[in-house]
């Protein structure tokens, strides 16, 4: 369900542009609201959340899908952890549906999906590894990197249970907004993938805004 936010960008306490193919890591405190903006449209925000006090508690696709009884995320969805605690709730969404199942690109999967020659290309997995290596203060280890949310990405599930990557249903300036129920660290790869429609074959910037 699409619901627009009445929050104003000029009142945000933090604004950060994630360049095409780049990454972002940072804290969001309980009670704060984070918005991720699809600046030019048709981009994929491969996103992970961790309990800021204990990164072994983290966003769980399985717990989230089971508790809400559907595979897509939109306004009202509660993002749950592997301990089944609510981490964040989606409070506004101008797209209407976000993917929980498609996973993130990695050099290994790129060679399987596309071509051996794609192995050297940048990937979300590499983005996350670089982010946690450069920011040891968050205490996130590579073993903590699990299944992610793909905000703005369109991965329909067919009647017979197949997944496929499809053209995006997002657009320029569309966004998703979440209220944090606990202190979390957010880790976003602005997907650098050039080989499927998730980035429109042309990665573009994302923006992160945070309000108190």
When asked if residue 42 is in the footprint of Zn ion (CB under 5 A), the reply is: no
Site string for Zn ion, 182-211 (x = CB under 5 A): ---------x-x------------------
Backbone angles phi, psi at 97, to 5 degrees: -165, 135
Residue 119: how many CB atoms within 10 A of its CB? 13
As a whole number of angstroms, the distance between CA 188 and CA 45 comes to 6
At 169, list the tokens.
């249903």
How far apart are CB 188 and Zn ion at their closest, in Å?
11
How far apart are CB 122 and Zn ion at their closest, in Å?
8
As a whole number of angstroms, the distance between CA 199 and CA 11 comes to 29
**Which lies closer to Zn ion via its Cβ, residue 151 or residue 211?**
151
Site string for Zn ion, 88-107 (x = CB under 5 A): -----------------x--
How far apart are CB 48 and Zn ion at their closest, in Å?
12
CB 20 within 8 A of CB 42: no
Residues linked to residue 64 through DSSP beta bridges, in sequence order? none
How far apart are CB 105 and Zn ion at their closest, in Å?
3
Please name the residue ranges forming H helices in 106-188.
107-113, 124-134
- Sites of contact with Zn ion (CB under 5 A): 105, 124, 191, 193
């Amino acid at each position: 369900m699409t619901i627009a936010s009445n929050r104003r960008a000029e009142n945000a306490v933090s604004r950060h542009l994630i360049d095409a193919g780049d990454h972002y890591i940072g804290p969001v405190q309980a009670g704060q609201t984070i918005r991720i903006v699809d600046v030019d449209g048709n981009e994929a925000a491969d996103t992970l959340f961790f309990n800021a006090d204990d990164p072994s508690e983290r966003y769980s696709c399985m717990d989230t899908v089971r508790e809400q009884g559907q595979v897509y995320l939109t306004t009202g969805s509660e993002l749950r952890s592997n301990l089944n605690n609510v981490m964040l709730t989606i409070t506004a969404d101008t797209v209407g549906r976000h993917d929980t199942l498609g996973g993130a690109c990695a050099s290994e999967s790129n060679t399987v999906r596309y071509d051996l020659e794609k192995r050297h290309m940048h990937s979300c997995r590499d983005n996350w590894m670089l982010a946690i290596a450069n920011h040891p203060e968050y205490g996130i280890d590579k073993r903590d990197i699990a299944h992610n949310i793909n905000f703005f990405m369109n991965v329909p599930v067919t009647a017979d249970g197949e997944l496929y990557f499809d053209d995006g249903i997002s657009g320029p300036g569309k966004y998703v907004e979440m209220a944090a129920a606990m202190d979390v660290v957010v880790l976003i790869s602005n997907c650098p993938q050039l080989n499927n429609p998730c980035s429109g074959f042309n990665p573009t910037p994302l923006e992160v805004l945070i309000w108190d």
